[in-house]
Every structure is written in structure tokens, then in C-alpha cells.
Amino acid sequence: METLSFEFPAGQPPKGRALVGCVGSGDLEVLLEPGTAGTLTIQVQTSVNGAEQRWQHLFERIFQEHTPPALNIDIHDFGATPGVVRLRLEQGFEELGHD
């Protein structure tokens, strides 16, 4: 197991929280909680050692398209593909958009 930390510029924090996926089904769980204005922090606990650069590039691609809200994101990964990671993050952002 490896724990990775990332930080990106962000907008304002959302009002709600979201939990999407689960480690036992789809190999990925993502918890999104309001963070500090201007900062998005991500902590990844992964079973795949030595993949920090892959995660960094994936997040850079996702967040270059739009400025994310200020969040603290916890990801529990058990070997999910980049496509599953992106899907779960998009699901989490969508959940945050519902009142």
C-alpha cells in the first residue's frame, strides 16, 4: 500500500459531501468533502506501488478542463484503471451539484 498526496488550485468549497464507488466493486472509492477556498487536496491510498506519476498526470488532465471546487478528496484504490478514476470523480462532482 502506498499513500500519495496532491494539491491543485481550486475555486470555492461546495456545500455538500459525496461518496461514490466502493473498493469491493469497481476497485475504487472516492470521498469528496468541502475544503479550503482556493485549494483542492487529494489523498490516494493505493495498492499499486510506484504509480505516483500516473496519478499526477491523470489529475492534471482532469483539472485542466475546468477549475474544480475547493475539496478534500480521499481515494481508496485497489488497482482501478484511469477511466474508472475519472468516472468516479465525475460522479462525485455531479453529486455535489445536487441540493
For the chain, domain boundaries: 2-97
Angle at 4 between CA 33 and CA 16, to 5 degrees: 5
User: What class, spelled out in words, does domain 2-97 have in CATH?
Assistant: alpha beta
Residue 98 has pLDDT above 80, yes or no: no
Q: Which residue's entry shows cell 496519478?
A: 55
Q: Which SS3 state, helix, strand or coil, does residue 21 take?
A: strand
pLDDT of the residue at 25: 63
Tell me the pLDDT tens digit for each residue of 36-93: 999 999 999 998 889 999 999 999 999 998 899 999 999 999 888 888 999 999 999 9
Range from 20-29, 31-40, 63-72 carrying the lowest mean pLDDT: 20-29
pLDDT of the residue at 78: 87
Q: What's the whole-number mean pLDDT along residues 7-27? A: 88
